[in-house]
């Protein structure tokens, strides 16, 4: 636990909140600068924690500082948040949290601010009432931006508080066993032998294994051999619902980084699968995953809307559309999403989703199945999107989802059965004569 670690945490939070970088991009770069696994984990815990509590940290600072630090001093403002987060939410001894944070200010060119930072942190230590937010705005009480709170409240008048609270919890680590390599029972025996606590909580998804504690998955048994992949339990429903059959010609139209592509192939290796994505950088991960899991697909870098560039002229039996979305269902796993995503992003996303859906529909065989999926919990991207599509497409019908009590669309909310928030709709194309 060092001053360097605190300085890295402050710089990482600054890059995300002020510069708009994603935490999954900024954090690994910062972690590379630390040698030990515990330090890397601590850096993650602090950065995730600051993302989860930013409005409360800002509010406390508003009470203790005449004005926030600006311009080139912004990283030092984040250092103060890092210090307060440790004092209030972590089990680090106060004296260590304060002295290491003050020391970190020097490496962030804040020698002249060490007194101020020390003073703010000592006040936080002395005044627990600063953390009474009962009469604060909902944004501060729930640590989410107002527009997300409003949207969730409107869509889920009964459950909005539960959803916002679920977003504050750490997500468990879900694995998916690659049944082409090992059975779930044999894999769990390996975990038990390695003394790794695990459970198999979803009766209809025997390959979904939950680990309570975050770990370096490359050190788990069978990583290099392709025995398993990391994938949330909710996302593991996609390949099941697509239900591809041996011999099918299948399209995974938004495939990168390939989690669902690989699951489809693990269930039905004897299909012809085109895995397409327009992001070449993300497609590199699809190639890596296929290679590690010993699976095969035709991987194509193209925009699904630009058919002339990639389509070989044969309609598909099954299409998976895991469309780009607001990711409002996975805020607990990616706590920075709530700050990076803007209200103005939603309408263009809904338009793109509807274009992709309409276009993909024309590539589906009559009698075929299209699975529409998002990791969003906003109705505009989910149920309303599907209703609008059905009203334009008389040859489309919804297929009831048996694992969801035959509901015609399935919205999983974050935290339900310890899963991420996800949406599924299974669409059948009627055969018209
Ligand atoms: C939710 S992610 C897919 C996750 C993936 N299915 C998995 O399980 O690993 C959405 C993907 O859609 C891709 N995408 C967005 N617009 C696209 C388009 N017009 N054509 C093809 N891919 C697109 C993005 O690059 C992104 O990788």
Residue 374's nearest CA partner among 401, 337, 411 is 411
pLDDT of residue 427 exceeding 70: yes
- Name the least confident of 33-42, 223-232, 294-303: 33-42
CB proximity list for 242: less than 8 A, separation 6 or greater:
250, 264, 318, 320, 369, 371
Nearest alpha carbon, ligand 1 atom 1 = 324
Q: What angle do CA 339, 345, 347 make, to 5 degrees?
A: 145
pLDDT of residue 363 exceeding 70: yes
Write the CA distances from 395 to 352, 363, 389, 430, integer angstroms.
Answer: 21, 13, 11, 5
pLDDT at residue 203, as a whole number: 87
Beta strand 173-177 pairing with 228-230: antiparallel
pLDDT at residue 212, as a whole number: 82
pLDDT tens across 202-257, in order? Answer: 988 999 999 988 888 999 999 999 999 999 999 999 999 999 999 999 999 999 99
pLDDT at residue 360, as a whole number: 98
Three-state SS at 432: coil
pLDDT of residue 1 exceeding 80: no
Portion of the chain with pLDDT greater than 70, in percent:
100
Phi-psi category of residue 7: left, alpha or beta, with phi > 0 → left and psi -120 to 50 → alpha: alpha
Distance from C-alpha of 101 to C-alpha of 233, rounded to nearest angstrom: 38
Q: Which residue do the tokens 């429903």 mark? A: 237
Which CATH code for domain 3-142?
1.10.940.10
Nearest alpha carbon, ligand 1 atom 12 = 254
- Name the least confident of 6-10, 176-180, 210-214: 210-214
Residue 346: asked if its preceding bond is cis (omega within 30°), the reply is no
Which residue among 238, 239, 254 has the greatest number of ligand 1 atoms within 8 angstroms of its CB, and so is best to mutate? 254
Write the CA distances from 209 to 187, 330, 393, integer angstroms.
Answer: 9, 19, 39
Distance from C-alpha of 289 to C-alpha of 312, rounded to nearest angstrom: 25
- Give the confidence band of 432 by pLDDT, cuts at 50, 70, 90: confident
Whether 375 is catalytic: yes
237-429 and 3-142 share a CATH fold: no
Return the ligand 1 atom nearest residue 375 CA: 1
Phi-psi category of residue 203: left, alpha or beta, with phi > 0 → left and psi -120 to 50 → alpha: alpha
Average per-residue pLDDT for the chain: 97
Nearest alpha carbon, ligand 1 atom 22 = 277
The residue-averaged pLDDT of 193-199 equals 96
Distance from C-alpha of 58 to C-alpha of 339, rounded to nearest angstrom: 14
The answer to whether 270 is a known ligand-binding residue is no
Hey, where are the domains in the chain?
3-142, 173-230, 237-429
Portion of the chain with pLDDT greater than 90, in percent:
97
Nearest 5°: phi and psi at 214?
-65, 145
**Which one of 3.40.1180.10, 3.30.70.1170, 3.30.360.10, 3.40.50.720 gives the CATH number of domain 173-230?**
3.30.70.1170
Give the distance, in angstroms, between the CA of residue 147 and the centroid of all CA atoms in the same chain. 19
Cα 322 to middle of ligand 1, angstroms: 7
The residue-averaged pLDDT of 391-418 equals 97
Cα 167 to middle of ligand 1, angstroms: 23
Cα 306 to middle of ligand 1, angstroms: 14
Ligand 1 binding residues, C-beta < 6 A: 254-260, 276-279, 282, 303-305, 322, 324, 356
Nearest alpha carbon, ligand 1 atom 18 = 303
Between 1 and 367, name the one with better pLDDT. Answer: 367
**Domain 237-429 CATH class label:** alpha beta
pLDDT at residue 300, as a whole number: 98
């Amino acid at each position: 636990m060092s001053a360097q670690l605190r300085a890295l945490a402050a710089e990482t939070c600054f890059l995300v909140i002020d510069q708009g970088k994603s935490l999954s991009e900024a954090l690994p770069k910062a972690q590379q600068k630390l040698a030990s696994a515990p330090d890397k984990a601590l850096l993650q815990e602090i950065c995730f924690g600051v993302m989860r509590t930013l409005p409360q940290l800002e509010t406390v600072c508003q009470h203790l500082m005449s004005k926030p630090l600006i311009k080139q001093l912004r990283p030092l403002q984040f250092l103060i948040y890092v210090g307060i987060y440790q004092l209030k939410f972590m089990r680090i001894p106060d004296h260590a949290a304060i002295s290491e944070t003050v020391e970190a200010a020097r490496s962030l060119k804040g020698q002249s601010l060490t007194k101020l930072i020390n003073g703010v942190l000592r006040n936080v230590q002395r005044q627990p009432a600063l953390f009474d937010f009962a009469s604060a705005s909902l944004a501060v009480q729930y640590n989410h931006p107002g527009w997300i709170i409003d949207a969730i409240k409107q869509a889920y008048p009964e459950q909005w508080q539960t959803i916002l609270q679920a977003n504050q919890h750490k997500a468990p680590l879900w694995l998916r066993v690659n049944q082409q390599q090992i059975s779930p029972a044999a894999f769990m025996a390996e975990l038990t032998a390695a003394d790794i606590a695990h459970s198999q909580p979803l009766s209809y998804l025997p390959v979904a294994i939950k680990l309570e504690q975050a770990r370096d998955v490359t050190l788990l048994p069978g990583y290099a051999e392709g025995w398993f992949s990391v994938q949330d339990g909710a996302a593991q429903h996609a390949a099941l619902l697509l239900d591809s059959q041996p011999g099918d010609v299948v399209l995974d139209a938004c495939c990168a980084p390939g989690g669902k592509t690989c699951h489809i192939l693990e269930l039905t290796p004897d299909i012809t699968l085109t895995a397409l994505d327009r992001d070449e950088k993300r497609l590199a991960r699809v190639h890596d995953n296929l290679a590690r899991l010993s699976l095969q697909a035709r991987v194509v870098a193209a925009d699904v809307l630009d058919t002339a560039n990639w389509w070989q002229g044969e309609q598909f039996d099954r299409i998976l559309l895991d469309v780009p979305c607001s990711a409002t269902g996975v805020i607990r796993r990616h706590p920075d999403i709530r700050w990076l995503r803007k209200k103005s992003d939603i309408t263009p996303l809904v338009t793109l989703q509807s274009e992709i859906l309409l276009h993909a529909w024309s590539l589906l065989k009559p009698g075929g199945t299209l699975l529409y999926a998002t990791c969003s919990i906003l109705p505009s991207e989910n149920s309303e999107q599907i209703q609008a599509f059905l009203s334009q497409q008389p040859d489309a019908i919804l297929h009831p989802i048996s694992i969801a009590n035959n509901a015609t669309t399935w919205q999983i909310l974050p935290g339900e059965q310890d899963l991420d928030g996800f949406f599924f709709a299974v669409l059948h194309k009627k055969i018209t004569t």
